[in-house]
């Protein structure tokens, strides 16, 4: 959405908040949770045809998975917001050359998976479902996919050996705060949004902080974050590293939030081969 449209929508929801805070909160959360990108295009679909595809169902939602068989350990790849499994193409090709078993999934509302909306808690449950089927030894998650992977691994005690977090946020409430600032919501909307999350998830967004679910992570961890990441601040990586005691932090510069670079891939391979 362009900036003018964003501000217009924000003002409308602010107006609604004076009449019905609950309606304003629901609309604000719906906008926040609805991806506008992330569906697969023709070239991407063609590439993913090289995988064995299987659809699972979680709570009535179709979750698409892609599997490339190898003889080595199994890696589960978990993409982030407004993305899909194709974003892993470079790493998939590298891992295929190393003969790893490779699994990727499309998040709810993304790629070839069903549903219209997305949230990290739902994603973590889908990650666990896929992990129970494929028994990964390693999970690699990008952005919110990394945080959802840590949440799934912690909550369900998924017995992975290694967990790699790429450009992952440390606090969901900070992600929401950024959204609130972009939209220009007033305090009535933000207060109503907190009430909405508490009612529907049983927790405030501040609960879903890395400090609340990383200290019990047993997997060896690798955190890679770019110093110039404009989407998720490098401060988030520092906070994750502070609480995820069994993890190594690697700082890059110039690769942005996507972290698609040979240097990053070499860090990952070095960690996997250690």
Q: In sequence order, what DSSP letters do the residues of 143-210 get, joined into one string?
A: THHHHHHHHHHHHHT---SEEEEES--SBHHHHHHHHHHHHT--HHHHHHHHHHHHHHHSS-GGGSBH
Q: Return the exposure string of 223-255: e unless at least 16 CB atoms fall within 10 Å of the residue's CB, then b.
A: bbbbeebeebbbebbebbbebbeebebbebeeb
Evaluate the CA torsion angle 94, 97, 99, 103 in order and state its sign. positive
- Residue 163, phi then psi, degrees to nearest 5: -130, 125
How far apart (Å, rounded) are the C-alpha atoms in residues 75 and 204?
32
Specify the pLDDT at position 173: 86
Specify the pLDDT at position 198: 94
pLDDT digits (tens, 9 = 90+) for 242-265: 999 999 999 999 999 999 999 999
Among the listed residues 154, 164, 170, the one whose alpha carbon sits nearest the alpha carbon of residue 235: 170
Specify the pLDDT at position 71: 97
Distances (CA, A) of 171 to 148, 160, 204, 229, 240: 11, 23, 11, 16, 9
Residue 63 has pLDDT above 80, yes or no: yes
Question: What residues does each domain of the chain span?
Answer: 1-33+172-207, 40-170+213-273
Tell me if residue 34 falls in helix, strand or coil: coil
H-type helices in the chain, by residue range? 3-19, 21-33, 42-48, 89-97, 120-134, 144-156, 172-183, 187-201, 210-213, 234-243, 262-273
Mean of pLDDT values over 115-142: 97
> Which position has the higher pLDDT, 166 or 7?
166
Residue 62 has pLDDT above 80, yes or no: yes
Of 3.20.20.105, 3.40.50.1820, 3.40.50.970, 1.10.3300.10, the CATH number of 40-170+213-273 is 3.40.50.1820
CA 207 to chain centre: 17
Residue 240 has pLDDT above 90, yes or no: yes
Specify the pLDDT at position 166: 98
Q: Are 48 and 66 in contact (CB under 8 A)?
A: yes
Distances (CA, A) of 257 to 44, 166, 168: 21, 8, 9
Structure tokens at 222: 């690798």
Q: Return the exposure string of 16-53: e unless at least 16 CB atoms fall within 10 Å of the residue's CB, then b.
A: bbeeebeebbbbbbebbeebeebbbeeebeebbeebee
- Sheet (strand 138-142) strand order: 52-58, 61-68, 101-105, 74-78, 138-142, 162-166, 220-226, 247-252
Specify the pLDDT at position 208: 87
Q: How confident is the model at residue 210 (pLDDT cuts 50, 70, 90)?
A: confident
| 273 C-beta neighbours (distance < 10 Å), count | 7
pLDDT digits (tens, 9 = 90+) for 142-179: 999 999 999 999 999 999 999 999 999 998 888 899 89
Instruction: State the distance between the two ends of the chain, measured CA to CA, in whole angstroms.
Output: 44
Residue 190 has pLDDT above 80, yes or no: yes
Q: How confident is the model at residue 216 (pLDDT cuts 50, 70, 90)?
A: confident
* Ranges 75-84, 118-127, 169-178, 186-195: which has the least confidence: 169-178
Among the listed residues 145, 155, 153, 75, the one whose alpha carbon sits nearest the alpha carbon of residue 108: 145
> What is the residue-averaged pLDDT of the chain?
95
Residue 2 has pLDDT above 80, yes or no: no
- Give percent of the chain with pLDDT exceeding 70: 100
């Amino acid at each position: 959405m362009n900036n003018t449209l964003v501000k217009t929508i924000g003002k409308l929801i602010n107006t609604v908040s004076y009449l019905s805070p609950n309606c304003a909160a629901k609309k604000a959360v719906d906008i926040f949770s609805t991806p506008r990108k992330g569906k697969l295009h023709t070239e991407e679909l063609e590439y993913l045809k090289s995988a064995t595809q299987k659809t699972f169902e979680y709570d009535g939602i179709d979750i698409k998975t892609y599997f490339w068989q190898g003889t080595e350990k199994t890696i589960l790849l978990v993409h982030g917001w407004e993305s899909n499994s194709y974003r892993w193409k470079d790493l998939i090709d590298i891992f295929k050359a190393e003969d790893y078993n490779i699994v990727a999934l499309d998040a709810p509302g993304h790629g070839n998976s069903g549903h219209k909306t997305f949230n990290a808690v739902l994603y973590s449950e889908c990650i666990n479902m896929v992990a129970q089927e494929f028994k990964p030894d390693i999970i690699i998650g990008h952005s919110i996919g990394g945080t959802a992977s840590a949440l799934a691994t912690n909550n369900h005690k998924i017995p992975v050996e290694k967990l790699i977090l790429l450009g992952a946020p440390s606090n969901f409430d900070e992600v929401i705060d950024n959204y609130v600032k972009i939209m220009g919501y007033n305090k009535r909307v933000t207060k109503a949004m907190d009430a909405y999350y508490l009612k529907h998830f049983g927790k405030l967004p501040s609960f879903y902080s890395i400090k609340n679910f990383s200290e019990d992570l047993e997997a060896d961890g690798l955190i890679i974050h770019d110093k110039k990441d404009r989407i998720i601040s490098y401060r988030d990586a520092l906070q994750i590293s502070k609480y995820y005691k069994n993890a190594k932090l690697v700082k890059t510069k110039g690769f942005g939030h996507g972290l698609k670079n040979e240097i990053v891939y070499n860090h990952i391979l070095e960690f996997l081969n250690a």
